[in-house]
Amino acid sequence: MISACSEQNQLSECIEGDCINDYGTAKYANGDKYVGGWKDGARHGQGTYTYANGDKKYIGEYKNSNRHGQGTYTYANGDKYIGEFKDGEHHGQGILTRANGKVEKGIWKKGKLIKK
């Protein structure tokens, strides 16, 4: 099955399970991979999105193919954010630990730390 839902809006192929309304694995044209829940052909519920080059990864909750709810995002540069997401951005309580050891902890809104 081919679907048009991905973080980069690239075509994906369901390689295992049900990528419409259950649990399945999709591989994207750029080599990225998603394993997790699906609803109406969109990433939904708990899942893991791994980028093709292996340097970025998100493990957590999705809603309508966006990072939404609790999750952990590991960046290519080694930074790691653990906390709440809304519409794909850091939003709510969270901790960003930089690769250099610096920690930014507090309330996030639309990807920006607003209260420590």
Q: Which structural domain range is residue 36 located in?
A: 2-115
Which residue, 11, 24, 104, 107, is CA-closest to 62? 24
User: What CATH number is attached to the domain comprising 79?
Assistant: 2.20.110
- End-to-end alpha-carbon separation of the chain, Å? 45
Compute the C-alpha angle 57/44/7, nearest 5°.
Answer: 45
Give the pLDDT of residue 38: 97
> Which sign, positive or negative, has the C-alpha torsion 111, 88, 34, 36?
positive
Give the pLDDT of residue 11: 64
Residuewise pLDDT in 10s, the chain (116 residues): 444 444 444 668 999 999 999 999 999 999 999 999 999 999 999 999 999 998 999 999 999 999 999 999 999 999 999 999 999 999 999 999 999 999 999 999 999 999 99
Number of separate domains in the chain: 1
Give the pLDDT of residue 12: 83
